[in-house]
């Protein structure tokens, strides 16, 4: 029976240790992704333009399914145009309602707008435990640059209701139930968004593309994987020598 020499054992230890770190990194990435809350991502958050805003809704219950999502749109800077992207198995309502106060937009007084968009699961449909769903609306024109909060309410099949309505504190720490939000940016110099881009809906973007946490954790996992490969190659060359 072949036995490993102490020297061979020492060669293997760095590989095993780094492999363990890589596995731990992947575990952390998986846990963080699974713990993500209701988030919003805009594909073109440019002031004066139109954007598809996608809400990614994970089911965070172990026993119940998500059967409704309701999102509140701003009333101080209302969207003049709102349209929804159909989702199979879900019914969407987006009625126009009277605003708390009239709002002047480029010389036009707005007294009513869509204030709430609600997706309700049809019979036999729900977001099961361990799953997520995406819901999109096209809105515009977007207001001046700044943060727009889009509080959401998630309803489960067992009657539990979770309100995602807490703004991020100045400290930068994430609250327990953060409100989805989008960051409107200024239009590039020389561009003209006031003519209005097409309000046709586009495919939902991947929220992780603009999620700094997901990018950082993904990078850590990649670095750990590359490090494990390099150490393995070095150990293999030494054994061959």
Model pTM? 0.67
pLDDT digits (tens, 9 = 90+) for 180-205: 999 999 988 766 554 333 333 334 44
What pLDDT is attached to residue 18?
A: 45
Find tokens 């409107």 and name the residue: 184
Q: Where are the beta strands (DSSP E) in 94-217?
A: 96-105, 108-114, 116-121, 132-140, 146-149, 152-156, 161-164, 181-184
- Residue 130 carries which DSSP code? T
145: helix, strand or coil: coil
- The CATH code of domain 44-204 reads 2.60.40.2230
- Residue 77 carries which DSSP code? S
Q: For residue 16, what pLDDT band results from cuts at 50, 70 and 90?
A: very low
Evaluate the CA torsion angle 74, 75, 81, 85 in order and state its sign: positive
Kindly tell me if the per-residue pLDDT of 17 is higher than 50: no
CA-based R_g, the chain, Å: 24
pLDDT digits (tens, 9 = 90+) for 50-62: 999 999 999 999 9
The Cα–Cα gap between 134 and 185 comes to 23
pLDDT, mean of residues 25-32 = 40
Token output for 87: 């989702």
C-beta atoms surrounding 27 within 10 Å: 11
Between 2 and 79, whose confidence is greater? 79
pLDDT, mean of residues 34-44 = 82
Q: Which residues pair with 117 in a beta bridge?
A: 71
Find tokens 């879900």 and name the residue: 90
- Residue 12 carries which DSSP code? H
What pLDDT is attached to residue 203?
A: 40
Element (H, E) at 89: none
What mean pLDDT, rounded, does the chain reach? 78
DSSP-H helix ranges across 149-207: none
pLDDT, mean of residues 42-48 = 95
Evaluate the CA torsion angle 185, 190, 194, 198 in order and state its sign: negative
Between 233 and 52, whose confidence is greater? 52
């Amino acid at each position: 029976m072949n036995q490993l020499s102490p020297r061979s054992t020492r060669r293997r230890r760095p590989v095993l240790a780094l492999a363990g770190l890589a596995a731990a990194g992947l575990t952390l990435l998986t846990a963080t992704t699974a713990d993500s809350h209701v988030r919003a991502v805009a594909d073109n958050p440019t002031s004066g333009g139109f954007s598809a805003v996608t809400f990614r809704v994970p089911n965070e219950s172990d026993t119940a399914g998500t059967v409704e999502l309701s999102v509140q749109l701003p009333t101080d800077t209302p969207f003049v145009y709102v349209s929804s992207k159909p989702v199979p198995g879900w019914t969407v309502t987006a009625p126009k309602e009277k605003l708390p106060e009239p709002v002047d937009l480029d010389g036009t007084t707005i007294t009513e707008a869509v204030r709430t968009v609600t997706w309700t699961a049809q019979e036999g449909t729900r977001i099961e435990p361990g799953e997520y769903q995406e819901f999109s609306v096209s809105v515009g024109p977007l207001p001046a640059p700044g943060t727009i909060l889009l509080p959401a309410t998630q309803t489960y099949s067992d009657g539990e209701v979770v309100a995602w309505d807490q703004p991020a504190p100045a400290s930068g720490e994430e609250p327990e139930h953060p409100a989805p939000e989008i960051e409107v940016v200024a239009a590039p110099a020389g561009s003209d968004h006031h003519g209005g881009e097409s309000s046709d809906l586009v495919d939902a973007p991947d929220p992780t593309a603009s999620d700094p946490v997901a990018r950082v954790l993904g990078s850590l996992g990649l670095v750990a994987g590359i490090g494990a490969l390099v150490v393995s190659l070095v150990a293999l060359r030494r054994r061959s020598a």
